[in-house]
Structure 1
């Protein structure tokens, strides 16, 4: 807006703040943009969100979004959605009007995603690809027709539903896979989340979800289950983890603890038994749990009972980054209540799937959970559980399948450790080629490091030049020596459209997780960096700057793109100067590692272009040196792990 203020006399005056950080009226700005034809197409939702943010705290904003959903769902059911309700607040009315024009589900999901992004640390959610996988695994292992008519709705329960991601996945999967409707039941102790789940499920798009009547009830499923007596064909759950105040004293003699009273330190095993108690005979449950639940000593008695009775059928280790907390390899537990005629003991073998080892995060920012490949692998292994050899990885279509079926009797030892990595190993003969390739790359990286280090070590550093004049990014932008653009997230998930090209989307979450760009964006709706642009990360924890050399890429919020005038500035000189740690200290808030960097305050020395190019060459060598060192660390760790496994297995010739 600073450019518009400078170039247009009709731009609205500021209503507060300072010249450096002015405050404007949102209504005035919106009217001015509309009158001057500068309001971007399809940006109506962006103008809507600040009005919800201004409502107050998390709960008030969440309830307002739920009110939008109720009104939009009411319009679908009774024509106007009024129902004699009191007049809605201004932001709610505006959202409903926008929903009528752009689609009820689209507008509601936009508001819901923005709300979740704002409170991401307070409200953990199950990523949609993982929710789809969990629903599919439950469908593959349940026998829903026992005791009912094939056309009856399949009942799906989530006793800790949050905003309903797992139930939304089931609402699509059940009609698609079984050609029968789904009856969705959910509960959460946070009434705001329950209200949001209710309207989100009522407005699901697609013909397979029409006519759904979800039943979402607020309440604590462990302490006072409002859905007591419910029997479901499928239970999907991502329960709260590591809680100590879950009701241990009040529930010591609860009838749900058929496999033993959960210790105070094992709330997850209370959720496991609660989900089992809500299953019909032949029904299945899939839970997302921390990896420690599989091995903690306090829970071994319950794990032993789950194995003996056949209630627990499989444990799947997911790659880190699959869901929060992203640093852990979370586990999926697949459970089933035996159907009549199956007997109380269940199967004699247990399935382990180590997808964390099958899909390691091998390189920084160029690998992460590929949900297409990861989901296909887990589905195929669980679907053919009897094909793996005991305690060994097997081969399928030439690829290593990191899975094993192990006799239950072999697991009933003193530890009852159900960690997949302890029961699956790599197939013999596959480490040798990997080690050979790894050692070749180590040699190439060392040669590159020697060359770059020689170039850098030869640089002569002069003293006494600290007083040279400098310019901030803001000053360079005003002088039109560069253009500063700040990234943003798309309004909604981008799905492929025939004939419309997409570009990868890099977000702060991708940088924090060291994965490749995880999303997509359409170029006309995003800030796209081209080769030669300077990319600057505006978060202190991941502060960096580099010259983009790859294909076009969109950037999300708190990532900025600088396009320099090549007649005035050298991009490598600018990126190297901005990246200096002293710049971050000068432009940061210093409040915490998550504080933001004010990119406009970053400084670049004022020197002539030929002198910039001399520094640019040194910055290029420094960037190459850092890339090689990072890659060497990753490759050396992988080689060390493979070699350690081979030596420990006695494979030294």
Structure 2
């Protein structure tokens, strides 16, 4: 059995345990001779004994309001493999929920059993649900590159779609099925969204650790709720279906993508392939038919699929059959970032099993609902992610019209007749059919022309103001460097640094993190960091300088605090001596940045202390500051006006080329 003496922890892990930045731990190590000695690792990344670190932190008063869970996680991580730590966490959860449980899975080591017992005891004192959620999240964060999970917002959306689009009665309650359940995200969402009597959550997962964690997770969510039955089986659902006779009310699934070895050869004659044998390169269509085979008549399945499944040539015959039988009812294209892989616009396919009775003998539905929700991404970020609230409202609003042929659909949603879909390609990609709706209408064009006219008017006003500035050809005035102003106490200079302790789960209290890479993209912070991990924070009124030639910028920060990464600098002026906007205007001059550059290449850094500032009285600084602000407004307005003009020219050119104006309309 491994004791905590043998559990290694890094400086970053010590910082996380103590709730401080890594720099603070490095300072402790330098200043205190009693700090534990290194037991492994390297000089750059040393490792220390968890037990010795815990004793030192307690003896030196460094553990204020720190949960015992922080000391648990390094022990789970020290178990080695992903499966071993996952099974140990699941066993700890089982003991937390059933303190008298005696049996222990035989595939756990003695060390893992002891650790599960310690975690269960801590959980019963600090809260079983909270302790399990903490350990599960740490486990998922550690193995994020090996696992594909369904975000809670997407899982909730899928559950609400399935519950809202099924037809017929759910006799004896609701049965939910997920044949590739992972850690149970979709089953948890179904349990949270369904408030009716009687709930059966059935699942399958081929990874033993994921199946065990899913069982534990669903168990905590449904604990104390009457009439709930949960069963998650460890098996390969396609090769060895553990529920051959199941007919569920709804099915939710986020199956593995692009797996060629899914059982093509051994499952060639399987009865589930009622729409055709899925090609070897189309495993996703095997999952689609597997879901349909386990639905009751009128039941609904919602499945996450990569966008290529909607258009690949190999799957067109199966897609055509799904459309002709009325089982593929809708396809929704999501914005990038909804789930892994985050760079892809994943799709939701809404499928429905054919109903029993006379309805099944009638004609199939004559159209499919295609919804393009890619525009509902968060604006102003480098790696676009979904804006979940409007995305959820839009998708649910569109799908509420699924069985109402005469209903009014929101924009970017369209009913496409089967005759248009059942061509040589059978492409059900929503963007192919909703694209025309993005063309501006006459009213929208008129509004945009009005906006351009207003923008040009404001630009003309700024031109008139700036042109009145009298620029003399005399000798330039005396200047002083930033370094000299710092020595004189007129301002303080702080350099941005890489934050520490950013591997944990995001919190609501985190602040935006701005880097040079962000400035080279759209200028918006792309990350967030805990306040205690941020080394340099720019407050409102601080002057921020990007100290790289290729991204040299200077501005006065406005709004909430933002953490600064490397090669960014925060300058805070002393009000009676300097005007922040005057300082920023002087530093912003392109010639200033070139003179302070350390090399001629665009990748060189700018020595901020060498930047020059005019020596002027405070009252004169205010006059210059006003002119600098007008110049900034002029640059920004010039850019936006140009972009708006190009957009209008393109839109009007497309409309003219398409012959949209009637012959009798007035043309130029």
Regarding TM over 0.5, the answer is yes
Specify the alignment match of 2:371 in structure 1.
Answer: 353
Conserved? CA contact 1:386–1:405, under 8 Å = no
Distance 1:238 1:430, change over 3 A: farther
Residue 338 in 1 paired to residue 354 in 2? yes
Specify the alignment match of 2:559 in structure 1.
Answer: 551
Match of 2:499 among 486, 498, 520: 486
Task: Output the CA distance in 2 between the equivalents of 1:94 and 1:315.
Answer: 48
Match of 1:171 among 191, 198, 201: 191
Distance 1:20 1:259, change over 3 A: closer
Residue 12 in 1 paired to residue 21 in 2? no
Specify the alignment match of 1:436 in structure 2.
Answer: 449
Conserved? CA contact 1:435–1:642, under 8 Å = no
Distance 1:37 1:188, change over 3 A: same
Specify the alignment match of 2:389 in structure 1.
Answer: 372
Residue 418 in 1 paired to residue 448 in 2? no
Conserved? CA contact 1:338–1:346, under 8 Å = no
Query: Can you list the C-alpha shifts for 1:388-424, whole angstroms capped at 9, x where unaligned?
Result: 779xxx67xxxx5221223323322222221112222
Distance 1:546 1:606, change over 3 A: closer
558-567 or 27-36, larger mean C-alpha shift: 558-567
Task: Output the CA distance in 2 between the equivalents of 1:189 and 1:348.
Answer: 39
Query: Can you list the C-alpha shifts for 1:339-384, whole angstroms capped at 9, x where unaligned?
Result: 2222155423321112124x26664459742211110111111112
Distance 1:419 1:522, change over 3 A: same
Counterparts in 2 of 1:281-292, with a 5 A limit?
Answer: 281-292=297-308
Task: Output the CA distance in 2 between the equivalents of 1:623 and 1:91.
Answer: 60
Specify the alignment match of 1:651 in structure 2.
Answer: 660
Conserved? CA contact 2:598–2:607, under 8 Å = no
- Kindly state the Cα deviation for residue 257 of structure 1 after the two structures are TM-superposed: 0.7
- Kindly state the Cα deviation for residue 18 of structure 1 after the two structures are TM-superposed: 7.1
- Kindly state the Cα deviation for residue 488 of structure 1 after the two structures are TM-superposed: 4.5
Specify the alignment match of 1:311 in structure 2.
Answer: 327
- Kindly state the Cα deviation for residue 120 of structure 1 after the two structures are TM-superposed: 2.1
RMSD of equivalent CA atoms:
5.3
Conserved? CA contact 1:155–1:182, under 8 Å = yes
- 3-state secondary structure, aligned to 2:187: helix
Conserved? CA contact 1:194–1:216, under 8 Å = yes
Specify the alignment match of 1:279 in structure 2.
Answer: 295
Distance 1:629 1:317, change over 3 A: farther
Specify the alignment match of 1:461 in structure 2.
Answer: none
Distance 1:606 1:373, change over 3 A: closer
Specify the alignment match of 1:464 in structure 2.
Answer: none
Task: Output the CA distance in 1 between the equivalents of 2:498 and 2:45.
Answer: 17
Specify the alignment match of 1:37 in structure 2.
Answer: 61
Distance 1:40 1:155, change over 3 A: same
Distance 1:326 1:19, change over 3 A: closer
- List gaps (5 residues or longer) in structure 2: 1-23, 472-480, 484-491, 662-666
Task: Output the CA distance in 1 between the equivalents of 2:282 and 2:45.
Answer: 50
Distance 1:330 1:481, change over 3 A: closer
- Kindly state the Cα deviation for residue 228 of structure 1 after the two structures are TM-superposed: 2.5
Specify the alignment match of 1:476 in structure 2.
Answer: none
Task: Output the CA distance in 1 between the equivalents of 2:150 and 2:115.
Answer: 28
- Kindly state the Cα deviation for residue 232 of structure 1 after the two structures are TM-superposed: 1.1
Distance 1:438 1:108, change over 3 A: farther
Specify the alignment match of 2:219 in structure 1.
Answer: 202
How many residues align structurally?
A: 584
Conserved? CA contact 2:292–2:352, under 8 Å = yes
Higher Cα radius of gyration? 2
- List gaps (5 residues or longer) in structure 1: 459-467, 471-478, 496-501, 538-542, 588-601
- Kindly state the Cα deviation for residue 549 of structure 1 after the two structures are TM-superposed: 2.6
When the two structures are superposed, what TM-score results if normalisation uses the length of structure 2?
0.71
